[in-house]
């Protein structure tokens, strides 16, 4: 008897991984990005890379725009001025915003300094639109 395949929202999983990895890092002006991809035809051969951005998002992603189909991409940054649609009440303290996209969804998490998190779905954030325009994202079940 075979086990049924359970589909997972890759964007949400990657957002959680990146947010957890950077939870204690409150360095402003040093965003990070993560890529999730399948290294071979083996469905268990998943790979993830997390990198501090040294240049613009466009410049960092240019070498990755080689036709490889990525499963999900995340961008995480600390800011004192989050978009109004994400934070209705600002206490003036920085927050970490992690936005992830996969082929069919967006997901994100806003982390406060006290450790509290707020999850959000599709929000029209420029970084998500930019990632989608630069990289090919693999549909569910395809590499």
- Report the C-alpha gap between 79 and 26 in whole angstroms: 9
The predicted model scores a pTM of 0.84
CA distance 49 to 72: 11
Q: What is the mean pLDDT of each run of 10 residues along the chain (143 residues)?
A: 55 90 88 90 88 91 83 90 71 86 85 88 78 79 48
CA torsion through residues 50, 46, 117, 9, sign: positive
Task: Report d(CA 83, CA 85) in Å as an integer.
Answer: 5
Exposed, middle or buried: residue 2 (CB in 10 Å: 0-12, 13-18, 19+)? exposed
- Cα Rg of the chain, angstroms: 15
pLDDT score at 88:
64
Question: What are 66-87's pLDDT values in tens digits?
Answer: 877 888 899 999 988 877 777 6
pLDDT of residue 143: 44
**What's residue 21's pLDDT?**
92
Q: Which of 60, 72, 64 is nearest to 30 (CA)?
A: 60
């Amino acid at each position: 008897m075979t086990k049924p395949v359970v589909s997972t929202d890759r964007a949400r999983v990657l957002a959680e991984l990146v947010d957890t990895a950077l939870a204690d890092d409150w360095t402003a002006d040093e965003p990070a990005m993560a890529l999730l991809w399948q290294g071979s035809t083996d469905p268990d051969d998943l790979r993830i890379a997390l990198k501090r951005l040294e240049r613009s998002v466009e410049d960092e992603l240019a070498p990755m725009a080689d036709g490889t189909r990525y499963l999900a991409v995340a961008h995480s940054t600390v800011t004192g001025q989050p978009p109004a649609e994400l934070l209705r009440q600002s206490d003036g303290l920085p927050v970490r915003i992690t936005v992830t996209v996969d082929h069919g969804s967006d997901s994100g998490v806003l982390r406060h300094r006290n450790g509290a998190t707020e999850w959000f779905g599709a929000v029209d954030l420029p970084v998500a639109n930019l990632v989608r325009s630069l990289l090919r994202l693999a549909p569910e079940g395809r590499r």
